[in-house]
Amino acid sequence: MSLVFYWHPMSSATPIACALAELGVAHDRVRIDIRNGEQRTPEYLAINPNGKVPCLVVDGTPIFEGLAIHLWLGDRFGVARGLWPAADTPERLQALSWCAWAYVTYMAVIGRLRAASMEGPQQDAGHAAIAADDARQLLDVLEARLSAQAWMVGESYSLVDLVVAQVVGYGTYVGAVVDGHPAVSAWLAKVVARPAMQGEV
């Protein structure tokens, strides 16, 4: 199987780079310089019409959108490596739910918080406060989950932890602090400390 990963360091492609490292999957890597607009060239748009990273090309067919790539990697490689729940199990249903929660529900709130907090025409302290409170309520949900069990879908680490932690970690940079959520804070530190999360990814 041929895998070509299009990425840029310290970007939304980073979680996929970490997942590939966790899985130990052989792949070729192509750096797309998003600072110079390389993601908008006709050559790259022919691969990923969304014009962003990450993108993973599997035997000539591209998959774009980080969540889609995570789910495919988990299903294709993660089950055999004990890093993704098997199909037709309760844990698989939970994995799908929490990954979507992170990328869709929580990321939407983080996006609102970022927009309202940054200098510019959308900056609005009131909107930022509302978004920060919404993030806190969602972190309460995650806190309850991680107070009841060590990891997102059971007693061992999985790619679900990587997916959720990357989004929660990004949220801390835009003001969604986790200090008031001790189980989340401890879990996030464990995920970040994993070897696959280190280095230039």
Per-residue pLDDT of the chain (201 residues; tens, 9 = 90+): 999 999 999 999 999 999 999 999 999 999 999 999 999 999 999 999 999 999 999 999 999 999 999 999 999 999 999 999 999 999 999 999 999 999 999 999 999 999 998 878 888 889 999 999 999 999 999 999 999 999 999 899 999 999 999 999 999 999 999 999 999 999 999 999 999 998 655
Q: Locate the domains of the chain by residue range.
A: 3-78, 90-197
pLDDT in tens, 107-153: 999 999 999 988 788 888 899 999 999 999 999 999 999 999 999 99
Q: What is the DSSP letter of 86?
A: P
CATH 3.40.50.1000 fits 3-78, yes or no: no
Element (H or E) spanning 7, and its range? strand 3-7
Cis peptide before 121 (omega within 30 of 0): no
What class has domain 90-197?
A: mainly alpha
